[in-house]
Chains A and B, each alone.
Chain A
């Protein structure tokens, strides 16, 4: 379509409305670009065959040349060292705000298909978080902005350059007066260089950094406490006792990879007499970090502020008479922290005030943790948020900004509470640069589409200052511009290739050195940790200036806390189908966010799941659906950011509720005095787990460290069953490779990374909200979440559940066509071509891990999504059953490689996708026939048990029982 369109001929996006502006027609046009999810929301009406035919005919007239005929041509000259079918791996880096994660990306014939962590990168060490796993889908997203546009009309980069050059001269002459660049927080040597160039050339220009999930309080607190712009790097592996004040470091925090790894290292129990760390958590909502806590207390935001003071007082940091938790609890905590001086750690979350962060610094200093379990760096590459968003918006509103360049931000959406869209009207030229033609793009004069990091050159450095290069895996799919190229254009007025810009920053001595950096993916840091004494008077001043309100919220004056979405973060992943569909680990809601309320509060307010309510605060209202979540603080509502998009793409738009507009706008993530009124409507939620209790069944077996030491075999002895005998001689499976898995429930935090990793590796389709609601989710590995104990303040337990590869598999026996069988290596294999889809296997699976293609989910993939598919894994058709294969394609690859090299597959050669991604290293796979392999050793651990073993199905996956480490002194204290 675009190929035969003249530039500026007003026939771009809006042409559809103009040519035929009936809603019906638009709907049909929408379907001309079908994609599984939107298609399947309502199969009957949406997949109206006649409508589709009619639309195709209508569209054929409009754009008969939409898809040019591609001729398939083999390589005439094959690229060097390229073997078709053998993937290559390239190192690159994923920037996420001021964080960076080194990656290793699998590429098939030039198509990146799978993202893994770079084992050489100190932050990643081969592991990833959920966002990194899903980034590859972001790149192939067919809804991305594809060309530069001007006021919504297709334009070009050249046209923009022309426009900018004219402007640039005027701006330079005025020393940048009236220019503001708004970007996210960054840690990038090149961006920092460009920023410095900007301030040199245009000293009056402003560069403002802004994050919707802002670390501003943390920065301010550390600045006040130390006098330097420091970044904290917590070393969870070194901490014996950890106190988290509302900090979800295992979940939504961008530094979760290192945190999960470190925390798991301190928590892993080996052998009978083991040591493990202890986690105290005080929080308002219920996070997965709270689920891992040995002691968790529910405190409102005001109480948390006072809690920090109470703790600081108890440790002698300041003198304050705050008292929100009972003395016994606090004394036990303080005693525990003091006992582990230098090996304890206190962390605070982004919602906490600058005063609290400053206090935490001082507390860690008193506990001698600074420099041990937490180190501080002054990274010169950082572009940090310095001021609150409202100050930035005020500057724009004052009219002093004439030209606003928005780099990869969507403030019209994220700052709707400050009415950013209104502020934009004061600006003469708004240039938006972002991956989607989103809410801000619609409001801007120019929109320049941004290349994905897998398509661009760039660089980034992690919290400890380790620099690495962002290396493209593929030429941009569309006419997009990489961030450094765009910013360079803005700053210098010249268009240079992004590779040259990055190389100019790095100035490596030789091409060889440069290649080495690219190959390794990381350039080791020269940065030394900073030791800064806490400036106690400044801290005290900050604390006394910060008012703390411990008034308990009531049913008539509720407290609202805003939090990052575990799937969409701040909304930047809203159009990512994998992340949209992956159930939230805590609520298990897919495709939506909701107002999360504790059961008691819900009862008091007379609301229940799926009820629509109106929240009112400060003259603002928000209509949102309720979901009841045990473990929430009373009279508190938690709202997740990032949903309810309107102008982003087919996945993002219309799913969930936009809660940004309900924020106060003063930079706080808390609202007080909120009232709730029930509307007489309900709203369907797609929840993948309806039942939250284990019903007393020995599913996740758990004990405290003390109990475990007394009865190390408790997990195995939990189920008594008669001897498991068979009517016939069973196959022994004692030769060759015998694959098995062990999953440590002690270290699994429930971060969901494995679920998305599996989806990415195994071409698992997304199916849309309606289908998820029908209970047809396709994830091969799912994260079961159970609540245990007090219904108001329960424990939260996670269990990753994939196919257990039973040796005596009940699914195999009942398949009438032998489509699921056992191979000699103990794998329960699926033959898709043979499956007729009786679903008997799924019925007879005690773990219910089999997934059925109820519709042809993969038929209508757009071209770019087809490029994403892993060529080593079959894309499944409708009517067939599928399930976890233990990543059989990876097993085959390793076996082939080993055979070519004339050796056996060594332990660790094969990593399943879930295992490779797992930041806690909770999943271990290997040959259980090899007594030396990691998995065999783990399966022989005291804690190892097999789920539903009493059915005599002989599962190959073992779970290692969950051990908790409660403080014995607190046993009687709630």
Chain B
């Protein structure tokens, strides 16, 4: 067995390379937040927020004109808006998975990436939540979804998966946010203590909720953190399972399948990890975090990408097998159409990006090559967007009666809103890395050798 790979699962081997001290970590992470705004950041922020403004403007136009500005038609009633929604919800999976499930499994290597993976989750879910909100025909009536007793005597239909969706994503967002914020509290207190100006001190004092780092506080904190982790864990599995029921409970061939919940969850983790990877590689480079975010971390993530990618690939082949095995002519037809019909180009982009390309991670060299993993992670993101597109557009465009078949083509507004959602995402993300510690300092210190009373002499070889 490779020693270094082994090491990742053994916290006795340093997860942080170099010889960091507690003070070094505090300094390293806090200085990013406390230093002056760099030109690069300002430039990136300007770019991202401009793109975000385009999104907001086009939403305004959408509300003014109606959703006819998109390329939707009658067989294809859902288009890019829902594709984007499922895509962003999927991205939002990695954060909580890293934080919660890996935390419960005591995977200490998560500490370097969990903070911004969680932040990414929250921002991705914000991006996701925009789309179901604006894709309805009458946005001003969206409150009909809420189960609020009212004088109109209206009540939502709890048989509709859209409503389950609404609750599932809402719950996920709330719990993820709480989880992220709870983890932030000790670090916010650190920043507060380092603050130079009164206003900064006071603002941080409010947000750090009076954290003093006392023994009791730590005890409660750790318990709360673990409980939240326990609470989040089923959510990671449930959100995308519920999102998948939007499709799985429908009668439309290509949607009506029981494989969807696990298939969607695997896809979500897959795409989420790819997105964490993309972002982590950039942050690591820009802020020189090579010692904190080590190649070992990245390699571990690549292994997860490889695993989930193969789960997704298995689902693709299983769908095909079942469509043939079921003997349902409509089902068989739609899958043949996916692979060889009018949307074959989208299908093969999806398969190439999600199944073929991640196979490169079988090679250790590629697993540990920063440029390779960066490119692959972007391919995976593209592939996963196309997966949702393939599921939604191909199934709807050719359902039971050939008379109503039609082809979906996006308009400029579809494209603008997808691009704009990235603007929103990066705006939030840039704000986050500028103003909040992007690495969980307190947790990171916990995995340093000197934090372990039994390893007084860190770095000694086994």
Q: Which residues of A contact B (CB under 8 A)?
A: 43-44, 47, 49, 689-697, 699, 771, 774-777, 782, 784-786, 799, 801, 810, 813-818, 834-840, 842-844, 846-848, 850-856, 877-881, 948, 951, 953
Contacts and interface: CB of A to CB of B under 8 A. Distances in A.
B166 A816 contact: yes
Contact of B78 (A784, A839, A846, A855): A839
Interface string B325-359: 00001100100000000000000000000000000
7 contacts: A44-B69, A815-B160, A838-B135, A840-B246, A842-B77, A844-B252, A846-B401
Given A771-B68, A836-B145, A880-B137, A816 B251 contact: no
A817 B156 contact: yes
A631 B406 CA distance: 23
A629 to B, nearest CB: 16
Most buried by B among A699, A818, A850: A818
Contact of A834 (B71, B73, B144, B162): B144
B66 A879 contact: yes
A822 to B, nearest CB: 12
A799 B68 CA distance: 28
Interface in B59-115: 64-69, 71-78
Interface size class of B (residues with CB under 8 A): 35 or more
A773 to B, nearest CB: 9
A689 B405 CA distance: 7
B347 to A, nearest CB: 19
B35 interface: no
A853 B137 contact: yes
Interface string B138-181: 11011011000000001111011111001000000000000000
B258 interface: no
A852 B246 CA distance: 20
B145 A691 contact: no
B69 A844 contact: no
Interface of B: 64-69, 71-78, 135-139, 141-142, 144-145, 154-157, 159-163, 166, 246, 249-252, 329-330, 333, 396, 399-407
Given A47-B65, A697-B400, A879-B67, A818 B156 contact: yes
Contacts of A815: 157, 160
A881 B72 CA distance: 14
Contacts of A838: 135-137, 162
Most buried by A among B66, B333, B407: B66
A602 to B, nearest CB: 21
A44 B66 CA distance: 11
B66 A690 contact: no
Given A697-B329, A801-B403, 5 more contacts: A842-B77, A848-B401, A854-B66, A854-B72, A881-B137
A852 B144 contact: no
Given A44-B69, A695-B333, A814 B403 contact: no
Nearest to A588: B403
A848 B399 CA distance: 9
A521 to B, nearest CB: 38
Contacts of B156: 816-818
Given A696-B329, A816-B163, A839-B78, A784 B401 contact: yes
A49 B61 CA distance: 11
A855 B137 contact: no
A851 to B, nearest CB: 7
Nearest to B328: A950
Contact of A694 (B154, B251, B402): B402
Most buried by B among A699, A836, A853, A855: A836
B246 to A, nearest CB: 8
Given A837-B67, A839-B72, A879-B66, A816 B401 contact: no
A816 B73 contact: no
B401 A775 contact: no
A817 B154 contact: yes
Contact of B138 (A689, A799, A837, A951): A837
A695 B333 CA distance: 9
Contacts of B72: 839, 852, 854
Most buried by B among A777, A799, A834, A850: A834
Contact of B154 (A49, A692, A818): A818
Nearest to A848: B404
Most buried by A among B69, B78, B138: B138
Given A834-B144, A837-B138, A816 B157 contact: yes
A694 B402 CA distance: 6
10 closest cross-chain pairs (CB), A and B: A837-B137, A879-B137, A775-B73, A854-B68, A839-B77, A784-B403, A848-B404, A879-B138, A816-B162, A775-B406
B66 A817 contact: no
A689 B65 CA distance: 27
Nearest to A777: B74
B74 A851 contact: yes
A728 to B, nearest CB: 11
Contacts of B166: 816
Nearest to B138: A879
B137 A852 contact: yes
A852 B77 contact: yes
Contact of A818 (B69, B139, B155, B252): B155
A708 B319 CA distance: 39
B69 A817 contact: no
A699 B403 CA distance: 10
A381 B45 CA distance: 83
A810 B333 contact: no
A836 B77 contact: no
A810 B144 contact: no
Most buried by B among A690, A694, A777, A810: A690
Contacts of A835: 137-138
A853 B404 CA distance: 17
A673 B173 CA distance: 72
Nearest to B253: A846
Contact of A776 (B68, B246, B249): B68
A699 B68 contact: no
A838 B137 CA distance: 6
A843 B67 contact: no
A571 B35 CA distance: 76
A817 B144 contact: yes
A68 to B, nearest CB: 31
A614 B450 CA distance: 86
B57 to A, nearest CB: 13
B84 to A, nearest CB: 15
A813 B164 CA distance: 13
Given A697-B400, A775-B73, A843-B396, A836 B160 contact: no
Nearest to A693: B402
Contacts of A801: 401, 403
A814 B68 contact: no
